Amino acid sequence: MSRPTLEMADLVRAQGDRFLDRYRSSFSFQQLKAFCAIRNCRTAALGGHLDSCSRCGYQAISYNSCRDRHCPKCQTQARQRWVSAQADFFLPISVLRKVFRGKFIAGLKRLRQLGKLCRSGPAALFADPKQFAKLLRRLHLRRWVVYAKAPFGGQLRVLRYLGRYTHRVAISNHRLLAFDGERVSFQWKDYAHGSTQKVMTLAATEFLRRFFLHILPKGFVRIRSFGFLANRFRTQSLVLCRQLLAVSPPELTANREQAANWHCPRCGARMEVRQSFTAAELLRRCPILDSS
């Protein structure tokens, strides 16, 4: 996906002060937190790291991402990583086979309890509880065959569709078309008239007001993990899982993962993190960055 020419962070930095002067009194803590995160995303305010090409030696300083769940830039990259990590094992047939068998048998039990299971003809034998239990045992021992075919357009299209909801923000940067310093033009889909693509232009402060109305309250999540990945016990559980499996923890940090996502502009090789900097260290190295 090509890099957008206009980003939400550009609008926040250009019109953020005027916007806050007007709406700060009605801003919640979560909205203010998202506002600051988007404004500081990929700037010296969050620190950075020195990236170097392992092939030609090209070097560049990259600024850290805010990783806020409402940031269009960060969530687009998070969605791409999520799609790439599930592409090879989405709904494996071996698991689907067992799940379908369990659902089918549970449905038979429920119908029998409600008295809706057919007990005439060849099925009359199963009116006897012992015969019905024998049937269930045979079904459990059978290796079921579940017919499944590739979705139309391929599995990646399905994952991309799901990814738009698992990592969704109010508007993506690719829908932003123009900004003249005062007014913002963006693309939207008119579902009332055949889902046609249209362009709307708003004052920047009004556009930001509508965007921050979509900030989720604390504790409201799109994806909730269970089991050993549940938030409450995730740290301890992952340590125990790695000990039982004799697996060492991953060495990649968030910054290293970020660097691995881009390539050298000269030779195309992967960039690697050589050194990390805090925001204060970056300002000491280059004081002009204080304006950001």
* Residue 171, burial from CB neighbour count under 10 angstroms (0-12, 13-18, 19+): middle
pLDDT top residue among 1 and 51: 51
- Of the candidates 36, 23, 24, 45, the residue with the CA atom closest to the CA atom of residue 68: 36
Closest CA to 253 of 60, 75, 47, 89: 47
Which bin fits 154, alpha (ψ -120 to 50), beta or left (φ > 0)? left
Of residues 97 and 259, more confidence is placed in 97
Query: Would you list the domain boundaries of the chain?
Result: 93-141
CA dihedral 74, 80, 85, 86 (to 10 degrees): 120
| pTM for the predicted model, two decimal places | 0.66
Q: What number is the average pLDDT over the span 130-153?
A: 82
Determine the Cα–Cα distance for residues 161 and 157; give it in Å rounded to an integer: 6
Q: How confident is the model at residue 287 (pLDDT cuts 50, 70, 90)?
A: low
Lowest mean pLDDT among 99-108, 125-134, 251-260: 251-260
For the cut 80, the answer to whether the pLDDT of residue 118 exceeds it is no
Q: Check pLDDT > 60 for residue 9.
A: yes
